[in-house]
Structure formats: structure tokens, C-alpha cells
Amino acid sequence: MITCYLRYVVDPLKLKEFEAYGKMWIPLVEKFGGKHHGYFMPHEGANNIALALFSFPSLTAYEAYRTKAASDPECQAAMRYYEETKCFTSYERSFMRPVFG
């Protein structure tokens, strides 16, 4: 299993829009075989950092999701929403492997 960790730099004046953006992606990740662990919005501390975590069985499964998402109408609509709102300015993507007890 791999977990994708996304760290977003968000516009603090557009948190409502970013939250709506995140809610669009949660079911889309799951539609293509992933398990979404949620978006995490600023609360205390920095007001411009948000996170998202989701997992796939393998990096190959994640890459298949990316390929399918590129031509999916719902995914394209989510990207258009981002382009219209500019609710974040940048993001970093890292892949982690979980360790369980």
C-alpha cells in the first residue's frame, strides 16, 4: 500500500472554496479504487496550509487512477472549479508507506 500525502498552500480567504474542492475529490479517488482519508483544513497555527491523504494498493494502482482521472468528466469538472476559484497557490505531493503494529 502507498499513501499519497498532499500539502497545499491555500488562500486563507478562500477556505470555503478549498473545502468544496476537497469534497469533490474524495469520492473521485474512491471511484478509481483508492481510499481517501480526508482533507485537513487549517485550524490552529498556520492559516494557509491544508493536507490531504489517500491510499492505493500500489504505486501502479495510483498511476492507473491518474490516467483514468485525466479523461473523467467529474475529475475535469473538479479541475475547472480549481481554475475558476484559485483556492490554493501550490501543492507538494509525496508518497509514503504505512507501518502498522
Give pLDDT tens digits for 22-75: 999 999 999 999 999 999 999 999 999 999 999 999 999 999 999 999 999 999
Looking up cell 491555500 gives 10
C-alpha cell at 94: 509525496
Looking up cell 478562500 gives 14
CB 45 within 8 A of CB 51: no
Encoded amino acid at 4, one letter: C
The bridge status of strand 49-56 relative to strand 2-10 is: antiparallel
How many residues appear in the chain? 101
For the whole model, what pTM was predicted? Answer: 0.91
Q: CA-CA distance, 63 to 67, in Å (whole number)? A: 6
Q: Is 90 exceeded by the pLDDT of residue 19?
A: yes
